[in-house]
Chains A and B, each alone.
Chain A
């Protein structure tokens, strides 16, 4: 179908989800009350704001992920060509991966992979 398939899928996805939600709005009974709109928490009133601070660990993992994800993007063109390049391609990727692996070991040693 070619690239117009992307537009089709986009339209189908939006139409289906928005349409479904709107149809249910038409069918469903709705009533408003003050308690109903409160955040769902075991029944006791919520203390403070719900947009709380979260663990810095998530941020650390996101940083390490970024390094390796860029590595992965570099590896796609290499993977397509490596059968034609042969041994040189293998040696280069071993060096490339070794450097990255050192990075992982450094992060490991520094305790970035430990959950606090």
Chain B
């Protein structure tokens, strides 16, 4: 029992690292073997994650609409998404005759690569990060904005009017909402004084920012969730792929595995956005502590840090999935009005409020 409590992801990772360094004399070879192991672990984490999110999306939809959701394949329909994947693999990946073939095939790769790259600074558990880069927050907002290139590329190269319109809408939408996302990220950076993800998590040792930061931080949390829902093109901001108007938007012409790549990228982006929100506002892997209640805090410390992180992340994912069945889709003019006339001025004023709070030390 004692042994089990001391095992954590970071100790396993450093154990493997030390073992590899001691058994393999060649430094470069040891490093590349470690990279291969890390890559396989990453895929073993991401692919089941996408399966779980796909299953969860349907079950949440069923729950919201008072029906069962998938319940035929496997126990409680849990293998439905595996069956769907098999179907997508067996399907022909069609390339339209008029399309720009190189860009058409490049776009899904770009989508997957950009969302993989954003995973680097996310703190999954205590001392367990792929790369604890010192400009973490800036890195996330820089790389995640590259996704729009993949979308525009997919829409333009498919040689389809629906795809082109969908890509243009999604481009305008993503660049607009990036501003609000950036400003709400900045409000936490002001309070922490660091862009590093591990510093941001450590600064919440005495309490999560959403509790300690009074109303301004709650406002920036709400703005972050709204704007990032728009940025990953999910309903009610899914204008880029509005089924009723544009069939499927920028991925109308994609089929089979290439379409699956877009779906995979969407789910990984959903996870990333929720993970960032959990790290910045809800304390990442930090357990829930209440002031001086030593006994309570001690009990909370027994829950592994990775479970805290995943719990908070899945809570935000659940909120974002609920949006889809709660709000009707916006029109394109309403969408841009919401960002430029409401969210952007509010978040600018909010940033100044947070600054005043940080300088005066009014937060707990």
Contact = CB atoms under 8 A, between A and B. Distances in A.
B90 A27 contact: yes
Interface in B34-79: 35, 38-39, 42-43
Interface stretch (B158-166, B217-225, B229-237, B315-323): B158-166
B90, B137, B359 pick with most chain A CB within 10 angstroms: B359
Nearest to B352: A94
A84 B358 CA distance: 10
A22 to B, nearest CB: 9
Given A5-B120, A69-B179, A40 B247 contact: yes
B341 interface: yes
A6 interface: yes
Given A13-B117, A69-B178, A87 B345 contact: no
Interface string B78-103: 00000000001111111111100000
B189 A80 contact: yes
Interface string A70-114: 001001100111111011011001100100110010001000011
B131 A6 contact: yes
B131 A3 contact: yes
Contacts of A65: 175-176, 178-179
A31 B93 CA distance: 11
A99 B247 CA distance: 42
A16 B94 contact: no
Given A13-B116, A28-B91, A80 B39 contact: no
Interface residues of B, number: 78
B168 interface: yes
B98 A39 contact: yes
Interface of A: 1-18, 20-21, 23-25, 27-31, 34, 36-41, 46, 50-52, 54-55, 57-58, 61-62, 64-65, 68-69, 72, 75-76, 79-84, 86-87, 89-90, 93-94, 97, 100-101, 104, 108, 113-115
12 contacts: A5-B120, A7-B35, A16-B43, A23-B89, A29-B92, A38-B97, A39-B253, A58-B168, A58-B172, A72-B179, A76-B186, A93-B351
A-B pairs, 9 with minimum CB distance: A37-B97, A115-B333, A24-B257, A13-B116, A13-B113, A5-B131, A17-B112, A79-B189, A39-B160
Interface of B: 31, 35, 38-39, 42-43, 88-98, 105, 108-109, 112-113, 115-117, 119-120, 130-131, 137-138, 156, 158-162, 164-165, 168-169, 171-172, 175-176, 178-179, 182-183, 186, 189-190, 193-195, 247, 252-253, 256-258, 260-261, 332-333, 336-337, 340-341, 344-345, 348, 351-352, 355-356, 358-359
